[in-house]
Amino acid sequence: MTGIIEIDNLSKEYGGGTKALSNVSMSIEEGEIIALLGPNGAGKTTLISIICGLVVPTGGSVRVGGYDIGKDWRAARKLIGLVPQEIALEPFETVLNCVRFTRGLYGEGPDDAYIEQVLRSLALWEKRNAATKELSGGMKRRVLIAKALAHRPKVLFLDEPTAGVDVALRREMWQVVEGLRRDGVTIILTTHYLEEAEEMADRIGVINKGQLLLVKPKDELMGEFGGKTLRIELDEPLQAIPSELAGRGLVLAPDGLEISYDYDTRAERTGIARLLGDLAAQGITVRDVSTRQSSLEEVFITLVQEDRAEKAENAA
């Protein structure tokens, strides 16, 4: 099955010879949320800018809904909505006129009922007659989303939607995205907040130095790279790990009241049952047990480090 976006061998080299993207290929399925993750300057924004038409690629091709973004640019662009990273709005224009204007640019006739629905869903209806310069930063960002949705796009690009946004507003933004997913909009977002990708995405693509290191379903990625840690709280503090329990990688907390044990969820035996049995045999009383999965942040750092190590090796 072909995806709603097919990216094939996409490259971008700037005048000075800087390679912003190198041979990126990926397929994005209709209705999914995909997060593009990477450090600053990794090439995330370049990638979505090419798909949207802001940057001209130096190699490769992109098809959106089957339309080539170069040859059939009109048809391709009608399917796309873009929420840019920087807040850019006409300061003296009202919210309603801003959204109407964008709808017109996309060749759509007026549809005030739909615009009302969009503005209400983004909690902007009350502000429809306010000039955009009077709005708060969070509201301005929502106006940008409303504009991007004005022509009912099938694909929505959110470039760093919560950059510089406070925690409450970030949650609010996630809810907006969740609502869009329910409406069947395919969403591609770039972020360097790992929490955001973890919270929202179905799949995660990791970009570093213009290369797509991998694209995987979030759960698979976390499972593959993410070991789990078992934390065992004790009733009485221990001076040291008993020699009978050595060789299992157990770590005792400085206060002697907690033992942590790393294990691999994919292994045939995790060793948890045996460990708990052995603790009981040693007369160590367990108060509580909990597990913790490594965060995407750790997964991400591992990936980028592996990539660097590999490149250093290849260079040597």
Partner 1 sequence: MMAEINWPGVWAIFHHEMMRFFRTIWQSLASPVVSTVLYFVVFGAAIGGRIQSVEGVPYGAFIVPGLMMLTVLQQSVSNASFGIYFPKFSGTIYEYLVSPVGWVEVTMGFVGAAAAKAILIALIILLTSFGFVGVHILHPFWMLAFLFLTALGFSLLGFILGLWAKSFEQLQIVPMMVITPLVFLGGAFYSASMLPPFWEAVAKLNPVLYLISGFRWSFFGLADVPVGVSLVAVAIFIGICFAIIRWIFMTGWRLRE
Q: Which residues bind partner 1 (CB under 8 A)?
A: 14, 49, 52-56, 73-75, 77-78, 80, 82, 84, 86-93, 97, 100-109, 147
- Minimum Å distance from CB 91 to partner 1? 7
Q: Helix or strand or coil: residue 39?
A: coil
Structure tokens at 111: 């549809």
Report the distance separating Cα 53 and Cα 56, nearest Å.
7
Q: Which residues contact 222 (CB under 8 A, 6 or more apart)?
A: 293, 294, 296, 299
Nearer to partner 1, 76 or 221 (CB): 76
- Minimum Å distance from CB 86 to partner 1? 6
Nearer to partner 1, 147 or 218 (CB): 147
Structure tokens at 2: 């072909």
Q: Which amino acid is at 286?
A: V
- Between helix 112-121 and helix 95-105 the angle, nearest 10°, is 120
- Minimum Å distance from CB 108 to partner 1? 6
- Minimum Å distance from CB 215 to partner 1? 24
Nearer to partner 1, 99 or 206 (CB): 99
Nearer to partner 1, 104 or 277 (CB): 104
Q: Which residue reads 């006409």 in tokens?
A: 90
Nearer to partner 1, 86 or 268 (CB): 86
- Minimum Å distance from CB 75 to partner 1? 8
Q: Positive or negative, the Cα torsion across 284, 286, 289, 294?
A: negative
Q: Which residue reads 């429809």 in tokens?
A: 128
